[in-house]
Amino acid sequence: MWSVLKARAKQTAKPYPYPQRLPVLPQRFRGLPSLDASRCQEGCQACAEACPTDAIQVAPWQLDMGRCLFCGRCEEACPPHALTFTREFRLAARKREDLVVSPEKQFQLAQALDRELAALFGRSLRLRQVSAGGCNACEADANVLGTVTFDMARFGVQFVASPRHADGLLVTGPVTENMREALLATYEAVPQPKIVIASGACAISGGPFAGFPAVHNGVDKFLPVNLYVPGCPPHPWTLLDGILRLLGRLREQRENP
């Protein structure tokens, strides 16, 4: 018993000093897509044809991060390597249309809530997580925010078990027909005012399940969404950064990681 306590006392595990220090991301991480249009070959549609979710359109070229699975097939299919995924992990946006990026349009980081909501939730936010038909990948990466490394609670943000104790919902999954009523009932149980966060490609657009009759292609078909966090699943740092920006806890400027 004492040896266990002594070993625990020697552990140096502590929260990563984000946002003072940028996180160390894995080598396979794919972040904000970037296109060098000068390298594109005339008439080439290889990236669009390789995309499994039709997230890419050509003429004019644009990529919808709300549909993107960040699988990298488009990058591999691009002969002149015009399309690449950067290591920029800050991808959350307030508006659905802001997730559509192109060479002519600079990606806009998520803006903070209005003054009234920021005053209510800026220093204390309780979220009820709802898996509306998710595969558990988004759910797992959201739960990681409660571990020592991320320690979301140090910012005053926590997940709670009951919607009656929550300030908003964090929704994952494409909203299957079987989960539609449960999602709406959970939303109604959250006291006013409340916010909704759509986390992951499925919650934003249906992801790989878009168009299937058993799903509703995202949460904003039913509920007003305050924050969109793209990814399949979103990296925990992406989700945490988006929540902090929504609460006005981070500056809007972007520095290269």
Interval 65-116: pLDDT, tens: 999 999 999 999 998 889 999 999 999 999 999 999 998 888 889 999 998 8
DSSP for residue 215: B
Same domain for 172 and 93: no
Domain edge (last residue) among 101, 132, 154: 101
CATH number at residue 65: 3.30.70.3270
Average pLDDT, the chain: 91
Same domain for 209 and 236: yes
CA pair distance 257, 250, nearest whole angstrom: 15
Q: Is 39 inside any structural domain?
A: yes
Same domain for 140 and 73: no
pLDDT of 188 > 80? The answer is yes
Q: Is 11 inside any structural domain?
A: no
Same domain for 157 and 125: yes
Same domain for 133 and 240: yes
Q: Is 158 inside any structural domain?
A: yes
pLDDT for res 83: 92
pLDDT of 176 > 70? The answer is yes
Domain edge (last residue) among 101, 135, 150: 101
Same domain for 194 and 139: yes
Q: Is 8 inside any structural domain?
A: no
Same domain for 141 and 170: yes
pLDDT of 6 > 60? The answer is yes
Same domain for 169 and 60: no
Q: Is 254 inside any structural domain?
A: no
Q: Are strands 195-199 and 168-172 parallel, antiparallel or unpaired?
A: parallel
Query: What is this structure's pTM?
Result: 0.91
Report the percent of the chain where pLDDT is more than 70.
95
Q: How many independent structural domains does the chain possess?
A: 2
Same domain for 168 and 121: yes
pLDDT for res 105: 82
Same domain for 152 and 60: no
pLDDT for res 253: 52
Region 165-173: what's the mean pLDDT? 96
pLDDT for res 252: 56
H-state helical runs in the chain? 2-10, 46-50, 73-77, 115-121, 137-143, 177-189, 201-205, 236-246
Long-range Cβ contact pairs of 152-159 (< 8 A, separation 24 or more):
152/240, 152/243, 154/15, 155/243, 155/244, 155/247, 155/249, 156/123, 156/124, 156/125, 157/125, 157/126, 157/127, 157/243, 157/247, 158/125, 158/126, 158/127, 159/126, 159/127, 159/128, 159/129
CA pair distance 37, 58, nearest whole angstrom: 11
Domain that holds residue 202: 115-247
pLDDT of 238 > 50? The answer is yes
CATH number at residue 190: 3.40.50.12280
Q: What sign for the dihedral angle of Cα 218, 202, 141, 22?
A: negative
Same domain for 91 and 171: no
pLDDT digits (tens, 9 = 90+) for 119-138: 999 889 999 999 999 999 99
Same domain for 216 and 133: yes
Region 180-190: what's the mean pLDDT? 97
Q: Is 6 inside any structural domain?
A: no
